A and B are shown apart, each in its own frame.
Chain A
Amino acid sequence: QLQLQESGPGLVKPSETLSLTCSVSGASISSISYYWGWIRQPPGKGLEWIGSIYSNGSTYYKSSLKSRVTISVDTSKNQLSLRLSSVTAADTAIYYCARHTMGAVAPWGQGTLVTVSS
């Protein structure tokens, strides 16, 4: 059964870089025809797609975040990574990783809360 688990610092200072890892078990992150993505939910707000990486290595980012986001995979560790630079309080959110196709996002990780504060 495919499972995803996010990990990383729960507190990041403003202007620094947020780095998260998503460990994948039960399937290879190199699986053909799947995307692996990051989605976040700021406190009291809705879900926001951040970006994804396809099985061929192509990356896709939300336009408003594109200049600050990098998504990559480490196939040797079966892990997905997110880097978000120059963070502000507006980047405080629960961050989820997930596998998806064009038609559906599933499964999701449990999510990890990242707070941006000095």
Chain B
Amino acid sequence: QSALTQPASVSGSPGQSITISCTGTNSDVGRYNLVSWYQHHPGKAPKFIIYEGSKRPSGVSNRFSGSKSGNTASLTISGLQAEDEADYYCCSYAGSSTLYVFGTGTKVTVL
């Protein structure tokens, strides 16, 4: 099971919007509506910010939004803020034997 493909880095200025893509296959992202996204500040526990492709857990800013088209899921951060600078990972359910596959990770830089 290969990792989902994400861009290595994405950057933007404060207030701008950025989008991170997450490309899988029809065995994971394309097959299940079970993509989640995680924000990871180094040295801290990853924090989940999107589940089931587009749902936000309680307490997560509505500046984070998720979507999916075919085998590619996307995370959009609008109104970029300095605190959004972190690594972001997608993750997809991949069936009853493999269970999970993570993305390669994207470093978001706020210019």
The CA of A48 and the CA of B102, in the complex, are separated in Å by 6
The segment from A16-24, A73-81, A102-110 found at the interface with B is A102-110
Chain B, interface size: which category? Answer: 20 to 34
Interface of A is mostly: strand
> Hey, what's the 0/1 contact readout for A88-118 against B, CB within 8 Å counting as 1?
0000000010001011111111110000000
- Given A96-B45, A96-B46: A103 touches B102 (CB 8 Å cut-off): no
Of B13-21, B70-78, B91-99, the one touching chain A: B91-99
CB of A46 within 8 A of CB of B52, answer no
Question: In the complex, how many residues of chain A place their beta carbon closer than 8 angstroms to a beta carbon of chain B?
Answer: 24
The reply to whether the CB of A62 lies closer than 8 angstroms to some CB of chain B is yes
Partner of B46, one of A47, A49, A63, A103: A47
When distances are taken between beta carbons in the complex, the residues of chain B under 8 Å from A70 are none
Task: Give chain B residues whose Cβ lies under 8 Å from the Cβ of A111.
Answer: 45
Which chain A residues lie closer than 8 Å to B110 at the CB level?
none
What are 6 A-B contacts defined by CB distance under 8 Å? A47-B102, A47-B105, A49-B100, A63-B1, A100-B100, A104-B57
Chain A residues in contact with chain B, CB under 8 A? 35, 37, 39, 46-49, 51-52, 60, 62-63, 96, 100, 102-111
User: What 19 additional pairs, Cβ within 8 angstroms, besides A47-B89, A103-B93, A108-B46?
Assistant: A46-B3, A47-B40, A47-B46, A47-B91, A47-B105, A51-B99, A60-B96, A60-B98, A62-B1, A62-B98, A96-B45, A103-B36, A105-B46, A105-B91, A106-B47, A108-B47, A109-B45, A110-B45, A111-B45
